[in-house]
Amino acid sequence: MSKFVDERIYTLKAGNVPVFLKLYEEKGMACQVRILGKMVGYYSTDFGPLNQIVHMWGYDSLDDRFARRKELLASPEWQAYAKEMRPLVQSVENKLLIPAPFFTVP
């Protein structure tokens, strides 16, 4: 059970959602899941702000998040994927979500 959720929102350049999702599934997902471990959700937007990818990762502690993110960023496999992915992205937002006392993060 995770204590914290890292929410990341990638706003893509118009029309790139299908390209991004295919690239992620083929070249990025296996590495990210292997290193980060606890995917809470992975979504694309259909209305409201468009061309967005929203994904969430669960962590046991802030130290756990820091160590796993550091390992991911150091991975040659992830760096190769990121080099192809970055041109599709317009902006990135990141939030640390802390669960309410009565909620248990999956």
**Per residue of the chain (106 residues), what is the pLDDT tens digit?**
668 999 999 999 999 999 999 999 999 999 999 999 999 999 999 999 999 999 999 999 999 999 999 999 999 999 999 999 999 999 999 999 988 888 765 5
Helix, strand, or coil (residue 56): strand
Q: Please state, in angstroms and rounded to a whole number, the distance separating the CA atoms of residues 76 and 58.
A: 23
For residue 44, how many other CB atoms are within 10 A of its CB?
Answer: 16
Question: Which CATH number does 4-97 carry?
Answer: 3.30.70.100
**Residue 105: its pLDDT value, please?**
57
Distances (CA, A) of 8 to 52, 101, 102: 10, 22, 24
Measured in whole angstroms, how far is the alpha carbon of residue 105 from the centre of its chain?
17
Residue 61: strand, helix, or coil: coil
Helices 29-36 and 62-74 sit at what angle, rounded to 10 degrees? 150
